Structures are given as structure tokens and as C-alpha cells.
Amino acid sequence: MTRIAFMGAGSVVFTRQLIADLLGFDDLGPIEVALHDIDRQRLDVAEGTAHQLAERFGRPVTVSAHLERREALAGADFVIDMVQIGGVEATRRDLEIPARHGLLQTIGDTTGVGGVFRALRTFPFLSALTADMREVCPDAVLLNYTNPMAMNIWWASVVAPDITALGLCHSVYWTAHDLAELVGVPVEQTVHRAAGVNHQSWLLEWTHDGRDLYPLLEQKIAADPELRRRVRVEMFRRVGFYPTETSEHSSEYLSWFLRSPEQVERFRLQPLEYLGISDENVSEYHRAQEALRTDSPLPLEEGATEYAPQVIHSLVTGTPREIHANVPNVGLIDNLPQGAVVEVPTLVGEGGIRPVAMGALPVQCAAVNRPYVSVAELTVEAMRTGDPRLLRQAVLVDPNAGSTLTPEQIWRLCDELVEAHGDLLPEPLRELLPASAL
């Protein structure tokens, strides 16, 4: 029996879809789902969801729910991480406090000031999680969905190099599907490969029956002025390769878009968009509670197959697949720093997990990626050393922050965020560093 431990199982929609995808594999064999969350009510919803899905799919599933993490981890073959340390309130601070200082973000969970503070809230959890895994399930594979993806996998590689960890994100998958629909070809007939860093990878290969699809995409863009008001299209036109994350996300990783009201309007952006998404996630949780209370069927996303169930299926059954995953750069991308976390095609199956070496990125793509990598590197180093100056330097080198705020303003912003997050941050990094004291 394959035991899968869910960390942060109270993320009700995500847990629901992952379990449904797992149960869709008839040849996977019996599975054991061990659910962990620190919120009893959310854990109850996750447990009820698992039981309902098992009945709906007619599959034998052993379900257990645990408030204590190590109980859920004990004997696990796979650990799925999808936690949100600090919950919605911490996310709200990450977005609203910078906005009061004049620094706009859309999602705020990947890089930049929001990503830095989310990472520093999450790193202590990852340290504790991997320490527990080492003791109670040392051979388990850690499948991480928690953002900031690149920083979290990087930190895991620092504190637990003995634990196999993959960072999984659906951005490449959905980019390939959306672009295929745009140019009018069946996605299953296309070949695509991307590489770079998470949420800022580049579609390096994209063909249909051996034909490069980029010229067809260029024709579509030339014929539609509204397409040219999308961030990703602008990036493609300027850089030459299509980025694999949404326009909303991509806008906050660069200095080009959120710096002025004119650019926000031109590219149809919604600053602080994730606040509304967070509220909707809470509403969906309450709808799931009500559906379980009334024994109503929970909705499932049609045609969705997340990477974690695919990885589990491939490693258990030996079925070969190629996905895109986030792993430390050990000879995988030549012109990004070794040891940084990169996103590359990855083979999974009977031979285990084998990331594909992609050589050098186009030089302009690597140049756009490097500031993102530097923010991650400084954040990891701030955690490793406990140096509060490095925390501020991570925000200082972020293109979006640097295009909007002065260094002195960045110091003040970081002090306010440190105070707001309090003991959610590692203790050495709670020190205030007033800009005037430098």
C-alpha cells in the first residue's frame, strides 16, 4: 500500500483535486491518505472530502487525519506540502503594507517583498518537516507545491540534501494548453519543453508535427491589439521566448509594469489581486463544509491532472512520464548559478527521478532570470546566517521594488513588515534596522 501524507490538507480545493487525480489511476493499487493540518475544522473538511471521493470513485482508500505532523508522516512513501504559514492574514500583510508604501504587487507569493517574507515564514516549517521525515520516513519523496517554490526547494536542499524533493507547479502545463488553444492545434499533438526558474521559465521548444509554432503565435499577436496588452505577450515580443507564468504573476517580477498607473492600465493589471483570490478560497472552504454537511457532491475540475499524482503513479508503477519540475541546478542550466533552483523537464518512472540537462538558456532569458535568482539567494542566505541586513538586501535587488522605492524606503518597509509578522519570522530576523541608523 502506498502511503501519501498531505501537509496543509486544509487547503480544501487542492486536497480535493489531488486525491481525485490519484483515484483516477485504476492501476495505482491501494493507497493510504494521511491528512495533516493544524486547524481541526479544516482537517475535518479534508477528511470528509477524502471519504466522499473514495466512495464516488469506488476505490478502497485508507484515510486518517492527524493534528500531529509526525503521526501523518510515519511510514509515508510520499509527502505533499501545500502549507500557508500565517494563513490569509499574513498574505494580506504582504500585500497591503507594501502598497501603503507605494510598492504594488498582484499576487506577492513568489519573489519580491511578498515572496521574501513568505519564504522566511515557511523556512522554519521546512526545516522541521524534513527533520521529521528523516526520522520517520527517510525514503519518502517530498513533493512541494508551497510558494515561493524556488526559495523553498532551495532551502530544503540546504537543510536536507539527503531528502529527495521536487517542486511542482502547473504553470508550464497550462501555458502549453492555453497557447495550443490560441493557435488552434490540439495540445496532445504538440511537443513543448521549457526551462528557467519557476514562474519565469521560457518555452524553448514548441512544435506541432515538427513545425515550430512560434511564427503562428506571432501572426495571432499581430492580428489582435488586445493580445498586445498582456504582460506575457509583451515579454515574448521583447525577449523572444514565451514565459510560462500568467501575466498577473509575471508583472511583479520585473521593473517594467507596476511602476506607473499608465503601465498598470495599459497591461490591464489588478494590483493586490490575490486579496480577492484569498477571500474566494475562504468562501470555497465554507461551501465545502456545507456540501459535506448536506451530503452533496463536491465539484471537481474536469480534465485536470496535477503533477504530484502523476509523479506518484510513475514512481509506483514504473510508467514513464516527462513533467517540468523544480530542482537544484546541478549541471542542468549552464548560465544560471549552480545550486540555485531551476525549472527543467524531468523524467519520472522506473528509473526514478531524472532532471534533464538543458545546456545554456538564450542569453537574454538568463539575464532576465538572474535578478529573480539573486532575490532567492539572498533570502536563503538571510535564513542561513540570521543576518537581518540580508533580508533587506533581498528586497533591495528585486526589480519591482527597486523601480518603485528608494533604498531608504525599502528599509522602512521591511521594518514595518518585520514588526507586523512578529514571531512568524525566525527570531534573528526580527531585529529592526532603521534606515537612519546606517
Please give the pLDDT value at position 12: 84
Asked whether the bond before 399 is cis by omega within 30 degrees of 0, the reply is no
Q: Is the pLDDT of residue 438 over 80?
A: no
Angle ∠(315,157,399) on CA atoms, nearest 5: 115
User: Which of 175, 224, 228, 178 has the alpha carbon at shortest distance from 203?
Assistant: 175
Give 35's strand partners.
6, 65
This prediction has a pTM of: 0.97
Residues in Cβ contact with 186 at an 8 Å cutoff, skipping those fewer than 6 apart: 180
Please give the pLDDT value at position 286: 94
Please give the pLDDT value at position 334: 98
Please give the pLDDT value at position 305: 77
Please give the pLDDT value at position 349: 97
pLDDT tens digits, 85-100 = 999 999 999 999 999 9
pLDDT tens digits, 365-394 = 999 999 999 999 999 999 999 999 999 999
Please give the pLDDT value at position 80: 98
Q: Is 170 a catalytic residue?
A: yes
Q: Is the pLDDT of residue 436 over 80?
A: no
User: Which of 97, 219, 197 has the alpha carbon at shortest distance from 152?
Assistant: 197
Is residue 230 very low, low, confident or very high in pLDDT (cuts 50, 70, 90)?
very high
**CATH no., domain 2-168:** 3.40.50.720
DSSP state of 140: P
Choosing from 36, 51, 101, 170, the catalytic residue is: 170
